[in-house]
Structure 1
Amino acid sequence: MITDSVLEELTTLRERVAGVTNSAVASVDGLLIAHDTDDVRPEVLAAMAAVALGLGKSTGTEVGMGELREVITRCAGGHIVVYAVRERSLLVVLGDEGLDLNRLHLHSRPAVNRLGELLAA
C-alpha cells in the first residue's frame, strides 16, 4: 500500500538524521497523506506546511529564482523544513535545535525523489 511505503520513508528519515522529531507528507492543498508524528497535530502540520510551501513558491516566482526546492524556518526550539515533492505534494520535517541541516538535506533529497515516484503511482 502506498501509505505504508510513504510512512516507511518518514521513519527511515527519522532514524538516519539525528534531531528529526516529526514529519509528514501532504498534498499541496494541505491534505495529510501520511505522518510520523509524536507531539504535533498532523492535520494542522500538513495544512500549515502547505501554506509555507505556497508562499515560498510565490516568492521564488516573483523574484525570478526558479523552482522552489524547500522552505526552512528556524525557531527558538528548532527547525521546520518543507520540501516540494514534485508539483502536487510536500514533505515537512520538524527538528530540534540539534538538527544537522546538511545531513537532513543529504537524506531528504533522495527521499523526496522516492516519495514523488510513490505518489505518482
Structure 2
Amino acid sequence: MDYDALAAELRALRENVPGITDTLIAASDGIPIIGDVVRNVDPAHISALAAADHGIARQAAEVMGLGGLSQTVVFGSEGYLAVYAINRMSLMVVLGDKGLNLGRLLHESRAVIDRVGAILTPLAQRPPNERNDPAGARGEDTLDRPESVTNSLAGRH
C-alpha cells in the first residue's frame, strides 16, 4: 500500500479546506490505517468512534430504506466529525473546528475519497483472513507501516 500517497491526500484535504484540524483513514472495524493528526487526539479512539458512528447510521439508513450510506456528519458546539465510506472496508474521518467550511468539505471530499479508494483497493479486495494475522484480533497493530506513518498515527511529526 502506498502510505505516502495516502498521507499526501489527507494532508492536502486538511490544507485545502478551512477548518479541518485532523484527518485519518480507518478500517471499517475501527482500526486506524493512517492519519494526518495535528491536535492531541488518539487516532485509535477516533477510528473506533467513527466506525461505530458509521455502523449505526448505515443500519438506520438500511432499516428506513434510504439506500447505501455515504457519510455522516456530527455537529458539535465546538466542531465537527465527518465520516465517509471509502469502500466497504474503509472509512475517511475528518475532524473540524467550528469554522469548518462544510460546503467546501463536501465538494473536496468526493475526489479525495475516489483517489484514496483507488490506493486502498488492493487491501479491500483481499479476503478478510488475509488482511490481518491472528495478532490483529488481539488488538495488536499488524500493518507494515513506515516509521513516518507510525509516528503520524501516534501524533508525532
Which TM-score band (shorter chain)? over 0.9
State the partner residue of 1:23: 23
Alignment pair present for 1:14 and 2:19:
no
The equivalent of 2:67 in structure 1 is 66
Q: Residue 116 of structure 1 aligns to which amino acid in structure 2?
A: G
- Give the superposition deviation at 1:70: 0.4
Residues paired across the two proteins, number? 121
Between the aligned partners of 2:3 and 2:78, the Cα distance in structure 1 is 29
> 1:43 corresponds to which residue?
44
Tell me the SS of whatever aligns to 1:103.
helix
Q: Report % sequence identity.
A: 37
User: How many angstroms does 1:4 deviate by?
Assistant: 1.4
Larger Rg: 2
Q: Match for 2:45: what amino acid?
A: V
Structure 1 segments unaligned to the other structure (5+ residues): none
User: Cα RMSD (Å) of the superposition?
Assistant: 0.8
Runs of 4+ in structure 1 off by over 3 angstroms are none
Distance apart, 1:3 and its partner CA? 1.5
User: For 1:92 and 1:71, how far apart are their aligned partners in 2?
Assistant: 10
TM-score normalised by L of structure 2? 0.75
Q: How does 1:85-96 map to 2 (within 5 A)?
A: 85-96=86-97
Which letter does structure 2 place at the counterpart of 1:3? Y
Matched letter for residue 8 of structure 1 = A
Q: Which has the higher strand share?
A: 1
Shift of 1:16: 0.4
User: What TM-score do you get using the length of structure 1 for normalisation?
Assistant: 0.97
Counterpart of 1:53?
54
**Rounded Cα–Cα distance in structure 2 between residues aligned with 1:102 and 1:53:** 20
What are the ranges of 5 or more consecutive residues in structure 2 without an aligned counterpart? 123-157
CA distance in structure 2 between the partners assigned to 1:26 and 1:120 by the alignment: 14
Alpha-carbon shift at residue 86 of structure 1 (Å) = 1.2
Could you give the per-residue CA deviations for residues 10-44 of structure 1, whole angstroms, max 9, x where no partner exists? 00001100100011100100111100112211111
Q: Tell me the CA shift for residue 103 of structure 1.
A: 0.1
1:76-91 paired onto structure 2 within 5 Å: 76-91=77-92
